[in-house]
């Protein structure tokens, strides 16, 4: 049973560029959340997708957008990249309405903005 898979694992961009990160949730999960983890910090919630709609959003600008596909996979898009966007981007999946509500995290996509 594959867990949460993310791609790419590492990427380097320059300021002003755009990036797309991809996530496949754990089998049987229907909800995908994205978190940003700066170096030495805890993950910060970006947004959450369920039934192909953004359901919750953290304190991130509109440059951060996402999408969920019918197969529950998801993309995170960041436009007009800033140096401060350099971070590990984590995808987490879960099953809405489950008793535990446990989030399963992928290994992340490490973004470096030069």
Partner 1 sequence: QQQVKQSPQSLIVQKGGISIINCAYENTAFDYFPWYQQFPGKGPALLIAIRPDVSEKKEGRFTISFNKSAKQFSLHIMDSQPGDSATYFCAASPTSGSARQLTFGSGTQLTVLP
- Sites of contact with partner 1 (CB under 8 A): 4, 31, 33, 35, 40-45, 48, 50, 55-56, 58, 90, 92, 94-96, 100-108
44 vs 79 by CB, closer to partner 1? 44
Nearer to partner 1, 8 or 101 (CB): 101
Strand spans (E) along 1-114: 5-7, 10-13, 19-24, 31-37, 44-50, 53-57, 64-68, 74-78, 87-94, 104-105, 109-113
Residue 92 or residue 113: which is nearer to partner 1 going by CB?
92
Residue 35 CB, nearest approach to partner 1 (Å): 8
Q: What is the DSSP string of 22-47?
A: EEEPPTT--EEEEEEE-TTS--EEEE
Q: How far is the CB of 66 from partner 1 (least distance, A)?
A: 14
């Amino acid at each position: 049973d594959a867990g949460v898979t993310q791609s790419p694992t590492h990427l380097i961009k320059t300021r002003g560029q755009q990036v797309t990160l991809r996530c496949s949730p754990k089998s049987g999960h229907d909800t995908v959340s994205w978190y940003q983890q700066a170096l030495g910090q805890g993950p910060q919630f970006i947004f959450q997708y369920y039934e192909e709609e953004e359901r919750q959003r953290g304190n991130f600008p509109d440059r951060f957008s996402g999408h969920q596909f019918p197969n529950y996979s998801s993309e995170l898009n960041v436009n007009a990249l800033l140096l401060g966007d350099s971070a590990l981007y984590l995808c987490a999946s879960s099953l809405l309405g489950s008793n535990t509500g446990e989030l399963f995290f992928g290994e992340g996509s490490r973004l470096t903005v030069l």
